[in-house]
Amino acid sequence: MKNILIFKTDRLGDLLNISAVIYNLKLNFPECKITLVCSKYNKSIASYYENDLNIIIYDKPLIVFLFKNYLNLNKNNFDLILQLDGKNHSYISSILLNATTKACIKYIKNKKFFNKLISVSRPNFLINNFFDKNEISYENYDLSDNNKYHYLSLYLNLLKNLNIKIFSKDHYLPFKNPVNQSNFNESYFLFHIDQRWEAFEEITQNLLNDKILSLSKNNKIVITSNLGNNKIFNFLKTKLENNNNVQIVESPDLNKILSLIYYSNTCVSSHSGLIVHAAAAFKKNIIDLVSPRINNELDRWIPFNINYKRFDINNFYNFDF
């Protein structure tokens, strides 16, 4: 294959979750040109793959994107189009562009319609006929075979069905020249506190504060926030900023947060996609503190070949990190 087009126009963690696809394509076809259509949001992480990818940013609405890019994209004579984001604009773009082979993930979900459950698929029946290969994902997390629809597995199965050899299932992030952004010369726990934490009960922030205090007796701790901070992060900052074993990092940019992940030992978050998937690429220990009600959903997102633990957000203090 000489030319491959991939659609992945969603979030940072979602893009990192297809990094094994990019890695395996490059190993199978070292001389190929891979074009990635990404979003304005995940372009920041896509830029780290600039030696592997030609990047095009998707602009809403679809008609504007096609007007800007249709002719140039069709000049490439793609050997393969991979639609990996499940977005309607990407399905439509895929069927309008020329390619020898087109492959996608087909999502099927039950929805209520006049008090009856009906099965809805994305792409729909008509659009799906334009794709040569697909992998089906049933978006019901309570299925007995839920793990069968692990998202990275579906992406890699799609490659297998296209007779593309899988060399590695590991996440891949070409992060060059990292610089230690912490105050510590030794490894540390990285706690990433983003806006997800605000959905939890007030007792959670006290449990978290107590857990960090306990860990800090024998460990170094770095606490980071999302851009703009949040009330849970600000609470911890007030409680812990005078602790010599704790460093508070407000609103780190992408390069800084990746550096902090790179030099950490263990990354703790409430399943922040960027943190989990970047930590997997750097082979760090990963801890999720989440509500048990989303356990089945998260099972579909866990990277391969990592040391991963998950704890109930309401009952994690006594567990060994």
The DSSP bridge pattern shows strands 99-113 and 116-122 to be antiparallel
Domains, the chain, in order of start with CATH, read 3-161 (3.40.50.2000), 188-312 (3.40.50.2000)
pLDDT at res. 76: 87
The pLDDT of residue 13 is 97
pLDDT band at 111 (very low <50, low <70, confident <90, very high): confident
Query: What is the residue whose two structure tokens read 């930590």?
Result: 279
Reply yes or no on whether the pLDDT at 318 is more than 80. Answer: yes
pLDDT score of 222 more than 90: yes
- Specify the pLDDT at position 50: 93
pLDDT digits (tens, 9 = 90+) for 134-174: 999 999 999 999 999 999 999 999 999 999 999 999 999 99
Rounded Cα gap, residues 91 and 130, in angstroms: 9
Tell me what pLDDT residue 115 has.
79
Dist. CA 116–CA 320, nearest whole Å? 46
The pLDDT value recorded for residue 190 is 98
pLDDT-above-70 percentage for the chain: 100
Asked if residue 266 lies in contact with residue 284, where contact means CB atoms within 8 angstroms, the answer is yes
118 pLDDT exceeds 90?
no
- Give the model's confidence band at 26: pLDDT under 50 very low, under 70 low, under 90 confident, else very high: very high
Which alpha helices (DSSP H) does 108-173 contain, by range? 125-128, 151-161
Residue 9: pLDDT over 90: yes
Distance of CA 150 to CAs 153, 268, 303, Å? 5, 22, 9
pLDDT digits (tens, 9 = 90+) for 177-203: 899 999 999 999 999 999 999 999 888
For the record, the structure tokens of 305 come out as 């070949």
Q: To the nearest whole number, what is the mean pLDDT of the chain?
A: 96
Element (H, E) at 82: strand 78-83
* Better pLDDT: 76 or 84: 84
SS3 of 263-319: CCCEEEECCCHHHHHHHHHCCCEEEEEECHHHHHHHCCCCCCCCCEEEEECCCCCCC
pLDDT at 177: 86
Question: In the predicted model, what is the mean pLDDT of residues 118-127?
Answer: 93
Q: Position 268: which residue type?
A: V
Q: Which of 84-88, 115-119, 139-143 has the lowest mean pLDDT?
A: 115-119
The DSSP element (H or E) to which 93 belongs, if any, is helix 88-96
Average pLDDT over residues 251-263: 97
Closest CA relative to residue 20, chosen from 214, 169, 173:
169
Average pLDDT over residues 81-94: 97
User: What are the tens digits of pLDDT across the range 265-317?
Assistant: 999 999 999 999 999 999 999 999 999 999 999 999 999 999 999 999 999 99
Tens digit of each residue's pLDDT (9 = 90 or more) over 201-219: 888 999 999 999 999 999 9
The reported pLDDT for the residue numbered 112 is 76
Average pLDDT over residues 66-82: 94
